[in-house]
Amino acid sequence: MQPENAQQHIQAVQEYLLSLQESICGSLAKEDGMKDFIVDQWDRAEIIGGGITRVMENGAVVEKGGVNYSYVEGTNLPASATAHRPELVGRSFKAMGVSLVIHPKNPNAPTSHMNVRFFIAEKEGEEPIWWFGGGFDLTPYYPHKEDCVYWHQIAKQACEPFGDEVYPKYKKWCDDYFYLKHRKEHRGIGGLFFDDLNNDSSGWPFEQCFAFMQSVGDHYIKAYQPILARRKNLPFSQTQRDFQLYRRGRYVEFNLVWDRGTLFGLQTGGRTESILMSLPNKVAWHYNYQPASGSPEAELTDYYLKPRDWLALSKAEEA
């Protein structure tokens, strides 16, 4: 990317991200049927930048959901960005993205997360360094195999136009990334995760990298909305509700301890309310909780929260 083309590319990415946020919020509000997302447009005096945070709380289906668009500029990238890329030290940067987390009320409906983002780091007299990142992942509490298979089928569809190796690569990266080291367990059943996507890492030009990021963003609602529609009205017990709140604690732990996006936002002086919108409004911790052997609660960690080839499982069942 030449410096003279940078602003044109940045504008194209911004326009896509804003349209993606609008589209996803419209689809989820329709699925909820009772509440809509409030719109909170913000800017920060301490930094150059701002964003639009959209939040739904206590809907008929969505207990807490946030869809955030943000854009920030700075003179130096924070340590969370330069730790594994020392060549970025001393460069100014622009960062933009859409990030969302949806926590349904019904324990049979899984929590979902999606993020797509673009970074560009510039230095006078040198070519800009740019990259895309993002992905989506699913965190069930009372999983259904058909949902897990479907989620990964759509993830694969998002990757197919870009090569056969893309889905397995970013599926494994997702499994590796969303892992709670202090608990020795995975957060959910995975999906896709990619970062540092540019011409150097993939051989793809800017246009193809941008197209891949858009494909991931566009396929999120195709993957999630049908699952939410199938599970949102299933009956559930207080025991299931209590277990859902307990497992949400794992979600909070990952976001506050391990998530690079959370660290980046806090280290760049981002808006705390928007950064932490991913946290559920109801959550519980219980000391040394152990589910009964053979129970649905035990099956979650014993079977579902293990990296596996969901697409192969689908083919085996069809045979």
CB 279 within 8 A of CB 252: yes
Give the CA distances from residue 59 to residues 36, 84, 196, 277, 298, in Å, rounded to whole numbers and listed in that order. 8, 41, 36, 16, 29
Residue that has been written with the tokens 């509440």 in this structure = 35
Which phi and psi (to 5°) does residue 98 adopt? -120, 130
The radius of gyration computed from the CA coordinates of the chain, to the nearest angstrom, equals: 20
User: To 5 degrees, how large is the angle CA 121–CA 166–CA 225?
Assistant: 90
Catalytic residue among 9, 113, 152, 219: 113
Residue type (1 letter), 150: Y
144 is catalytic: no
Token digits of residue 114 = 């999606």
- Cα distance between residue 36 and residue 25, in whole Å: 8
* Residues annotated catalytic, as ranges: 113
